[in-house]
Amino acid sequence: MRLFRIPTAISRSCIVFSALVAVSLFSASGAVNANDDNVPWKHGIAMHGEPALPEDYVSLPYANPDAPKGGVLTLGVQGTFDSLNQFIVQGGWTSARGMRERDFGSNIFESLLARSYAEPFSLYTHVAQRVRMPDSREWIEFELNPNAKFSDGTPLTVEDVIFSLEIIRDKGRPPFSNWYGEIVKKEVTGENRLKLTFKNGENRELPLLIALAPILSKKHTDAENFDKSTLTPPVGSGPYVFDTIEPGRRVIYKKNPDYWAKDLPIKAGFDNFDEIRIEYFRDETTLQEAFKKGLIDALKFGDPARWSTGFDFPAAQEGKVKKLAITKGIPAPAQGIAFNTRRDAFKDASVRRALAMLFDFEWINKNLYFGLYKRTAGYWDNSVLSSIGQPATEAEKNLLANFPGIVRDDVMNGEWFPAQADGSGRDRKILKAALEEFKKAGYDLKDRKLVNTATGAPLAFEIMTKNEDEEKVALNYVRTLELLGIDVSVRTVDPSQFEDRRIKREFDMVFNTWYASLSPGAEQYGRWSTKSADAEGSWNVVGAKEPAIDAMIDSIVGARTKEDFTAAVRALDRVLISGSYVVPLYHLPDDWVAHWERIVPPAQHSLYGHQFDVWWSAEK
């Protein structure tokens, strides 16, 4: 086992001011175009409209600016890690948690602007103290806060921002590399100022995505080997530094007492603990037991059975452990068992559709989950962006006009919903309907086996799982599939092997979750576009290659009004549903978190639910 101890003292000996570099770059690039002078500087930007908070805001709505500081927060996750670089293919799926993510915090890396999760997609100044962009969104300009610095005390400069964008563009993983590749010109327009120009303004989300780019230290980043996984602790500008790294077991972050942004309103009420410990557990049961013993302060729950019956231990009965159900204001995540359409068995949509029909949600929800789950139908359920139950508008029909037949009639009319069985586990009506769908693809029952009538080959495949909860669902699903003579095996692998096989596309079917927001945009390219289907490390798990999908994503990122945007998202929802790329599963009605009373959540939560970087210690 490799153990790293990182000193917490912040070195001052390497502080180097780069004003001369900035001035020389400014001279080489020339002044700002005179026409750009009419574009005002602002304290924030939004995807649609204007940010909700005024320039003199005190804190984000879900952060308590009076939260006490101090104490230790211990969190637990199921899995492992073997990298400290989350921006490359090799370490993107198995990097340490907590460096930069919404629910655990941006503890190491920061960006020019920071997102408020109380709004669909609004950004406020952070590393950049001012920002501006034209309505055309062909460029965006930032003015950096002169006080911004990395954890070793060195200034964070325009040069570091440019370096970060270019190294991730050249050696990073999708979708980051794709986004940053859209920048065609970088201009240093003055001291601490950087203007970025894009190929065009068609992707209206792109400036906001660029504003959220992680900023790396050029001085401390090994550019030559950036694309290789590493356990060398990165130097960031965030509120914490690495203290202890035990690969696969734990990572400990210590508060940087000299954190440069601690007094900014965007950080008021954030980063309240002196130390954050993230412990790793190989399986969910061990993680749950650690929480019951008090080794973990807080834990998110995704299993209704554990949420309903898992609090019979003494501390919970005595009130020392609290249950928190948070109603979220965003679309439900789309959880499903993904088909790898790169496999011959799943190339025909009729096969995928028939297999999806055979998932008996009613039986599984009643017998395994106390009836607490809701069925997932589309990719933006429980929001205005969902197409479920909504007939297509004229705007949607116009978007889909060039792709006749790509959307099924029942989906277009808002009449489609996943097959609803009688809960018996062997609904004959569903079995018959699924068999008719299989026949469309050339399959039929022969000697109690479902075979391809042309080749005689049976329909057979494997479902890969990474934990006992997925395995339990898969085995119940297989029980129904076997009633139609389908030969299915379930293989459970450890988390690292799971991620490796998923990256290399070495699977037939796999559990996956597509997290949704009220402002979907360019990330949809990485999930569904033709270009991403064969890109190593992309999020296009299913291997979708459909021109209609590409066109709908183009319409989403190019939308200039809320009405056009909503129509484009609903149209994409209909295309994805009609393509039957997944077996839709279920989602929780709320965000479920349990915690020991020694830590305190804020009174108000973000639209996205809990995030631990705004909690604090009750002992302080």
Q: Which residues contact 563 (CB under 8 A, 6 or more apart)?
A: 395
Domain boundary, last residue among 211, 230, 262: 211
CATH at 488: 3.10.105.10
- The pLDDT assigned to 20 comes to 36
- CA distances to 364, 485, 608 from 479, in Å: 11, 10, 35
Q: How would you class 169 by CB atoms within 10 Å of its CB: exposed for 0-12, middle for 13-18, buried for 19 or more? A: middle
User: Structural domain tally of the chain?
Assistant: 2
Q: Is residue 606 part of a domain?
A: no
Q: Residue 589 — very low, low, confident or very high, per pLDDT cuts 50/70/90?
A: confident
| Selection from 364, 339, 351, 352 nearest residue 477 by Cα | 364
Q: Compute the distance between CA of residue 228 and CA of residue 540 in angstroms, rounded to an integer.
A: 22
Q: Residue 495 — very low, low, confident or very high, per pLDDT cuts 50/70/90?
A: confident
Q: Is residue 325 part of a domain?
A: no
Domain boundary, last residue among 211, 230, 260: 211
Contact 92, 229 (CB under 8 A): no
* DSSP of 485-535: T-EEEEEE--HHHHHHHHHTT--SEEEEEE---SS--THHHHHH-HHHHTS
- The pLDDT assigned to 3 comes to 40
Do both 512 and 371 map to the same domain? yes
Q: Is residue 300 part of a domain?
A: no
- The pLDDT assigned to 35 comes to 63
Q: Compute the distance between CA of residue 43 and CA of residue 124 in angstroms, rounded to an integer.
A: 6
- The pLDDT assigned to 319 comes to 96
Q: Which residues contact 157 (CB under 8 A, 6 or more apart)?
A: 18, 21, 22, 144, 192
Q: Say whether 484 sits in a helix, a strand or coil.
A: helix
Q: Among the ranges 9-23, 184-198, 300-314, which has the highest mean pLDDT value?
A: 184-198
Q: Compute the distance between CA of residue 202 and CA of residue 530 in angstroms, rounded to an integer.
A: 18
Q: Is residue 113 part of a domain?
A: yes
Check whether 21 has a pLDDT greater than 80.
Answer: no
Mean pLDDT calculated for residue range 73-96: 89
Do both 204 and 344 map to the same domain? no
- The pLDDT assigned to 32 comes to 42
Do both 207 and 343 map to the same domain? no
- The pLDDT assigned to 11 comes to 37
Q: Which domain holds residue 205?
A: 4-211
Q: Which residues contact 43 (CB under 8 A, 6 or more apart)?
A: 51, 55, 124, 125, 130, 131
Mean pLDDT calculated for residue range 366-388: 95
Q: Is residue 273 part of a domain?
A: no
- pLDDT tens sequence across 101-120: 999 999 999 999 999 999 99
CATH at 17: 3.40.190.10
Greatest C-alpha distance within the chain: 80
| Selection from 329, 331, 311, 330 nearest residue 321 by Cα | 311
Domain boundary, last residue among 182, 211, 240: 211
Q: Say whether 545 sits in a helix, a strand or coil.
A: coil
Sheet holding 44-46, edge to edge: 44-46, 122-125, 113-116
- The pLDDT assigned to 425 comes to 85
Residue found by looking up tokens 């299913």 in the block: 542
Q: Is residue 458 part of a domain?
A: yes
Amino acid at 461: F
- The pLDDT assigned to 55 comes to 98
- The pLDDT assigned to 537 comes to 78
Do both 156 and 19 map to the same domain? yes
Q: Is residue 614 part of a domain?
A: no
Q: Is residue 604 part of a domain?
A: no
| Selection from 398, 403, 410, 411 nearest residue 567 by Cα | 398
Q: Residue 394 — very low, low, confident or very high, per pLDDT cuts 50/70/90?
A: very high
Average pLDDT across the chain, whole number: 92
Check whether 34 has a pLDDT greater than 80.
Answer: no
Model's pTM, two decimal places?
0.76
- pLDDT tens sequence across 514-550: 999 999 998 999 999 999 999 887 899 999 999 999 9
Check whether 348 has a pLDDT greater than 80.
Answer: yes
- The pLDDT assigned to 421 comes to 95
